[in-house]
Amino acid sequence: MIEAQKISMSFGDTKVLQEVDLQVEQGTVTVILGPSGSGKTTLLRCMNFLERADSGRLIFGEETYDLAHIRQKEIAEIRKHTGFVFQNYNLFANKTALENVTEGLIMAHGYGKEEAEQIGRKALDKVGLAAKYHAYPSELSGGQQQRVGIARAVASNPAVIYFDEPTSALDPELIGGVLQVMVELAKEGMTMVVVTHEMSFAREVADRVVFMENGQIVEQGSPEEIFDSPREERTRQFLSRIHH
């Protein structure tokens, strides 16, 4: 389905990713854990070309791409099949919830306004915002704004959705609503790659858990393997700190 091979990236002299390999099977939820600065978000952004990797390859569907030399046209083609949910929502402040969802459908996917609005309303219904089509971001809570972000990602019916710490900017009581939407998507078989600190979500929803540190994958496996019997000492340390 999607495979990252030997992705490396540096910011100046700092190696942020060091030959990272990651396989994502269709219909699965992959959760990436790790301390701040471990390269989790950069990996996600490189896989969706929000950052340009220095080297490595991406297999997406039937095609293989050289990440350092990929053309803009190829990036645009891949992005038609991906959704990205940002930590800080990234909504247009001057557009309603519905317009935030339809913008990409019209501009990137070539839908007419009417059809885009139909799809947009369905996507907002799905995330529990049927009453908020015409609300502006400033009139929505953080949790609602993030759900608009998820609706926008879902609307184009992507092959995969990348989530970059989707709950980390939220007040604690708003986190549950966003996670619940993600749980429903997982049940429907949406392929998801999720960078998060929400351990209960990782344990209950992930098919595969990946632990990263210093730009490398230290360990990966099923939630049971990682949470109940991690092989690496570093993974054990990280999880015991989180649990305390």
CA atoms within 13 A on the CB side of 203: 9
* C-alpha dist (Å) from residue 225 to 164, 213, 222: 23, 18, 5
CA angle 59, 68, 6 (to 5 degrees): 55
Q: What's the pLDDT score for residue 191? A: 98
99-103, 130-134, 173-177, 206-210: which has the minimum mean pLDDT? 173-177
Predicted local distance difference test score (pLDDT) of residue 241: 87
Q: Is 244's pLDDT higher than 70? A: no
Domain holding 95, by residue range, is: 2-243
Q: What is the pLDDT of residues 36-74, one digit of tens each?
A: 999 999 999 999 999 999 999 999 999 999 999 999 999
Cα separation of 241 and 244, whole Å? Answer: 5
* pLDDT 10s digits, 112-131: 999 999 999 999 999 999 99
For the chain, give the longest Cα–Cα distance. 55
Which class for 62: exposed (0-12), middle (13-18), buried (19 or more C-beta within 10 A)? exposed
Q: Domain total for the chain?
A: 1
- Domain with residue 58: its CATH number is 3.40.50.300
Q: Give the separation between CA 53 and CA 114, rounded to whole angstroms.
A: 38
Q: Tell me the pLDDT of the chain averaged across its residues.
A: 95
Residue 85's Cα: distance from chain center in Å?
Answer: 5
Give per-residue pLDDT as tens, 137-171: 999 999 999 999 999 999 999 999 999 999 999 99
